[in-house]
Structure 1
Amino acid sequence: MANFGNNDEGKQVSNFAKYTGIAFQMLATIGVFAFVGYKIDEHSGSTKSIYTAMLGLLGVIISLYMVIRSLTKK
């Protein structure tokens, strides 16, 4: 007698863990880039947060690239 319910639940838990890990990886990447930009802006004494914005955007682009790469990998 096969128990198909447990297999589906295991797959759901696995997918949940995978996608949660991807979300935390995105947050960490964007956060690190934005923090570095903030520190550069703070060190330069600029009143505008140019580096924070630029590096934050770069972090978003890199994190999206990493997500797409991990989702298309077999």
Structure 2
Amino acid sequence: MEPENKPTEKSRQESQAAKPYLKYSGLAFQMIGIMVLAALGGRKLDAHFGNATPWWTLGLLLVAIAASMYLVIVSLTKKD
């Protein structure tokens, strides 16, 4: 007979404790990714249009901040 691979109570508690850390670190990486994409896209648009002032970069970063804050609020208020 083969032993059953039942999770023990301790391993179940450890996985439940690690779940919030994974969720919040994922949110942080998501926010960083949104900001980086907005900055890179803004720089390319500013270079394409030849802007002396980086209006596209500033605008896209403001939109990225609003979008990432919205995603954080939705994620934190969502019931699991």
TM-score scaled to structure 2, two decimals?
0.78
Give the aligned CA root-mean-square deviation in angstroms.
1.8
Distance 2:46 2:11 in 1: 54
- Of residues 43, 54, 58 in structure 2, which corresponds to 1:49? 54
- Specify every segment of 5 or more residues in structure 2 that has no aligned partner in the other structure, as ranges: 1-7
Runs of 4 or more, structure 1, over 4 Å off, are 2-6
Matched residue type, 1:63: S
Instruction: Give 1:12's aligned residue.
Output: 17
Structure with the higher helix share, 1 or 2: 1
Instruction: Give 1:59's aligned residue.
Output: 64
**Structure 1 residue 12: deviation in Å?**
2.5
Work out which of the two has the higher radius of gyration on C-alpha atoms and give 1 or 2. Answer: 2
- Specify every segment of 5 or more residues in structure 1 that has no aligned partner in the other structure, as ranges: none
Instruction: Give 1:37's aligned residue.
Output: 42
Q: Which structure ranks higher in relative contact order (CA pairs < 8 Å, sequence separation ≥ 6)?
A: 1
Give the % identical residues.
36
